[in-house]
Amino acid sequence: MKHSPPSFYTTTALFDLWKASMMGMELWSSSLSTIARRQQLWQTQPFFSPSMMRENQRMVTEKMEASMEAGLVVQKALLNAMSGRYAPWWITSQKAMQPYHRRSSANSRRLSR
């Protein structure tokens, strides 16, 4: 009886694992810089200024939108798994991180100007 290697040892799967880990690291670093820059804004500007109110409102709405998008991705993955079709966890994690990654990277770039 011949043993075949698990499906996660293929080149494509390993590359997808690498992409998921890189996306997680980018998300972590851009989130950290965004938090640090917003912290600096909160310490240097009054909270009732129009620019800070806009920034705080933007922060809350972006988090809500990203959470809803990620929740829909996870829900779709669960429904697909119940019907017998499923993607590996590293593919699902990339799709779930994408809304957060996109917004965090954009905020980091915008606040660094």
Domains in the chain: how many in total?
Answer: 1
Provide the pLDDT for residue 4.
62
Tokens encoding 105:
């990277």
Provide the pLDDT for residue 6.
64
Provide the pLDDT for residue 113.
86
Give the residue from 110, 98, 111, 74 showing the smallest Cα distance to 26. 98
Name the residue range of residue 107's domain: 73-113
Provide the pLDDT for residue 24.
97
pTM (two decimals)? 0.84
**What is the SS3 assignment for 26?**
helix
Provide the pLDDT for residue 47.
86
Residue 80 lies in a domain: yes
The angle at the Cα of 98, spanning 105 to 112, to the nearest 5 degrees, equals 5
Provide the pLDDT for residue 69.
97
Provide the pLDDT for residue 23.
97
Residue 89 lies in a domain: yes
Residue 19 lies in a domain: no
For the chain, which residues score pLDDT lower than 70? 1-8
Provide the pLDDT for residue 59.
95
